[in-house]
Amino acid sequence: MIGNYSGLNRSAAYSAVAGTGADPQDLMKIGLDRARAFLLEAEEAIETGDRLAKAKALGSASSIVEFLLGVSGSEPGPLSGSLAKVYHYAMLAILKGNAGDDATAVAAARSAIEDLAATWRRIFPDAIA
């Protein structure tokens, strides 16, 4: 999997989730997993007082969530609108966590992403080889 990043721009977010050639539903799962991993890194960084690592992890998580928001909005409808609400909530929690070294806000973003990932996997289960 991809390691730490010093920050992701929008095009790098696609590369970070290793989405080249992935089906849209798999791209979403990969992106949710990577966002979760970055949020966990941020929580650990807040706990240890490493503000630079926290900012990098939250910046990367934010870029991936923003990318997923764009992907989910490609076909407007009720599902897209519901996903947008979750992503906006996560983005606000990430911003709050970054601005105030707020581990509770980062954990809330991670929880929202984890719940979404669990639901997404129920709808689109991984194929068994």
pLDDT string in tens for the chain (129-residue length): 334 444 555 445 555 545 567 777 788 889 999 999 999 999 999 999 999 999 999 999 999 999 988 887 767 788 888 889 999 999 999 999 999 999 999 999 999 999 999 998 898 887 654
Q: Round to whole Å and give the CA distance between 26 and 117.
A: 11
Q: What values do phi and psi take at 12, rounded to 5? A: -70, -25
Nearest to 44 by CA among 101, 95, 100: 101
Q: How far is Cα 41 from Cα 26, in angstroms, rounded to an integer?
A: 23
Is the pTM above the cut of 0.85? no
Residue 49 phi/psi, 5° resolution?
80, 20
Q: Which domains does the chain have, with CATH numbers?
A: 10-123 (1.20.120.340)
User: Which residue from 49, 19, 39, 28 is spatially nearest to 126, judged by alpha carbons?
Assistant: 28
